[in-house]
Amino acid sequence: MKKLLYFIPFLFLSCADPDVDTLTLQSVYAEIEIINCQNSTFNIWGSGGTETINCSGSNYIHTTNLYQASVIENTSFGFALQVVLTSVPINCIDIITRVYHNGVLYETRNYSVGGYVGGAMCANIGGFTEGYSIIAN
């Protein structure tokens, strides 16, 4: 009988799976800084939804909608961002994107958007599309 009593707790302890995958809520958003925006309008599409920026003046900062996903910890998930001009400006417009993952800066990218300006072409005609593969933490 004593041998059976030692075996029973071991049976219950050994049934637990220590490698159970758990979902964690991940939050991502982008900050878009537009330099010399020239009264331009931008359409934004991405994981956080669809938005429109009406930019006037010289500099403008826009924060996109928050994107949230439940993801298994230490696996990757996607985040997409597309910024497109609705009309071609007089000059190239510089844009800096800063993507934040769980409130911490994840990555910064720089763009020059527009069309054919003074016989030269801006680096990103009409806009750009970004794609990220982020590791859940």
pLDDT at 55: 87
Question: Could you tell me if 83 and 98 are in contact, meaning their C-beta atoms sit under 8 angstroms apart?
Answer: no
pLDDT at 117: 67
pLDDT per residue as tens digits for the range 103-125: 999 999 999 998 776 677 888 88
Return the percentage of the chain with pLDDT > 90, whole number: 60
Q: DSSP states of 56-92 as a string?
A: -SSEEEEEPPPEEEEEETTSEEEEEEEEEESS--SS-
DSSP 16: -
Confidence of residue 102 (pLDDT cuts 50, 70, 90): very high
CATH code of domain 20-135: 2.60.60
pLDDT per residue as tens digits for the range 7-21: 555 545 555 555 667
Strand-pairing partners, residue 107, are 99
Confidence of residue 94 (pLDDT cuts 50, 70, 90): very high
Does this model's pTM top 0.75? My answer is yes
Confidence of residue 33 (pLDDT cuts 50, 70, 90): very high
Domain ranges of the chain: 20-135
